[in-house]
Structure 1
Amino acid sequence: MDWLVAHSEDADIDDPIPETVGGTLGVTSSSSSAPAAGDAEEKEGDVIQEGEQTAQSLVCQDCGVLLRDETAAQRHAMRTEHVNFAESTTVIQPLTEEEKRLKLSELKQRLQDKRAVKAQADKEDLKTAEKLRRKAGQDMTEAKAKLEEKEMKKILEAKKKEKEDERLAKAAIKAQIEADKAERARKKQEALHGRQQAAAAEAEAAAAAASAPAKVYTETRLQIRLLEGQPVVQTFQASDKLSAVYEFVQGRVPGSFKLMTTFPRAEEE
């Protein structure tokens, strides 16, 4: 193709190429001159034997694509993950300007298509992400609502339990008050009964004392504490007067003195 591009202005560019038999590889025979007798014979090495072809390119055995060199093969392997390559005798001709333009246009179109596909994929990913975000928001809202409902139930149950405990406490206090009232009434009744029994006993004792003959006392014993602090005990007749006591003390205390009782306090000269 490069040769065609270089010789496109030659006058004989459109003339057919004459067929030649034999000859050396790479040597073009003239159509006007006949081959010499010695040149018509094949020499050793003129004919390429099987397996002696020179490798001109690489072929991917996984997909059959011809590749220009190892670098192209490496790029192809990175892009397609194909790993089976072999040498090929097929010569990859260079592209013309028109082919290059077409190839470039095709590549641009592929790039645009790829970008469009990627943009569509990104758009779909954004839609999916938005759906997931909304779904996550809805799930979070529902979870929050369920949590609030659960907390509200706990609060209501706690209040209900508190009211029930308060009711039980009030009932227990009321029962205790009633028990205390009953206990006080019982104690009051017992005290009244005790007083009644005591009154009856006293009445019985008074009646017994009234019915018994009165005891007659003829003597009395007094303990007199002198000024020195020494007590003196003396027995007097029940009919004796206080003057007898005074005379008894006067015989033991010189000078004037007074007679006193501690309780109730009274004095007598």
Structure 2
Amino acid sequence: MASSDLDTLLEMGFLRDRAELAVKATGNLQGAIDWLDKNQEKSIDDITQEQASASDDAPALAEGEVPKSLVCEDCGRKLRSTAQAEWHASKTGHENFAESTEEIAPLTEDEKAQRLQELKEKLALKRATQAEQDKEDRKKNEQIRMKSTKESQTIKEELQKKEQLKEMAAKRAEKKADKDAKERVLAKLEADKQERKRKAEIEKAKRAGQAPPPAQAQAPLATSSGPTTSKPASAYTDARLALQTTGGRVMKTFPVGTTLFEVAHALEQEGLIVNTFTTNFPKKTYDRTDFGMTLKEAGMVPSAALIIG
């Protein structure tokens, strides 16, 4: 093979060791190009071992042989001699050849340029196809990654939702416990109030020299100031609030379904700024995150003393 063909292969970007093997194995530029395309996936060691084991380098023309061309009817390749046809058959497995009176002339510069352009287009097409395949593979890998990420996010969100439900249940249980405790305290305060009232009436009767009031008189009756009889909170429709502000004590009455937010809004209409409500006993502060609770839910029925903060 002429050194110019080897140089052409090198200019096209093929590695020298592969280009030299292709030149040696084929004997012409187009054959070398086909050989490189066919063996591009093989390593140099594999190619060398195959050539060593086969020992089938194309033989030279026999002495005195008249150059005549042969055509491989299986692939259309033109060959200079019978020996080259046999070598081609051993390489490709092709079996059908025909004689031709056409003499294989060396490629002209224009033909070489055309072959080179065809090869470049072929290589460009192959690289573009490979690039498209690589792009598709990356797209599939990204889809797999996104699916995995989405599944992980879904699992994480479900776990977070379960934790939120647990926290909400725990808060509801805590609020119910606080409410029950507050109702017990209010009931105790109410009982103490009635007991003090009964004792005061007895002392008053003694000072006046009168007989103590009958036992039934000890049960307090409802007055204009508000209900004083002992009955469950669910029986009340209004809540009486004693509100301690910076300007003094204010008494207000609201329906039991009124929210703390509505109470705060009503006070703000009177010029009071409300950020929190605080009870002294049991000690508890309701901030704006609790303002969605009604007076009944907050345990402020039938009455409550609140400090405005």
Which TM-score bucket, shorter chain as reference? 0.3 to 0.5
TM-score, normalised to structure 2, is 0.29
Instruction: Compute the TM-score of the two structures, normalised by the length of structure 1.
Output: 0.33
